Amino acid sequence: MSQAPGAGPGDWPLLKELQMLAGGRLCGPEERQRCRTESGGFADWACAACTERLRPEAVSPWTWHLVFLYQLSRAGYPFQANDLSLETWLLLGTVRRVLEGAQRG
């Protein structure tokens, strides 16, 4: 869970991915089709350079795993204290704060 020296929490890739997911900015089939229509021959470039939406394949596997654990916990999965590492529990708390904060705001 290391960061580059001087990098703030807002520069943390996990946090950025969670904020995009929480904000409903995951690129879906409708957005891809719209982008392909608008961008024509430059669609692949436009998709790769897009900062408006987050492509599902651009989300790290670790972020997807944490979101999965969060969904399990919200559904009532009976996690015990030692089921996850301390780091994973702490990251799960970050996921909860970001995703639930977006629901309230």
Residue with tokens 């909860």: 96
At 3 the pLDDT is 43
At 9 the pLDDT is 53
Domain boundaries, the chain: 27-56, 59-105
Contact call for residues 92 and 18 (beta carbons, < 8 A): no
At 40 the pLDDT is 86
At 95 the pLDDT is 96
Which residues of the chain fall short of a pLDDT of 70?
Answer: 1-11, 103-105
Which amino acid is located at 25 in the chain? R
The gap from C-alpha 63 to its chain's centroid, in whole angstroms, comes to 6
57-70 pLDDT, tens digit per residue, is 989 999 999 999 99
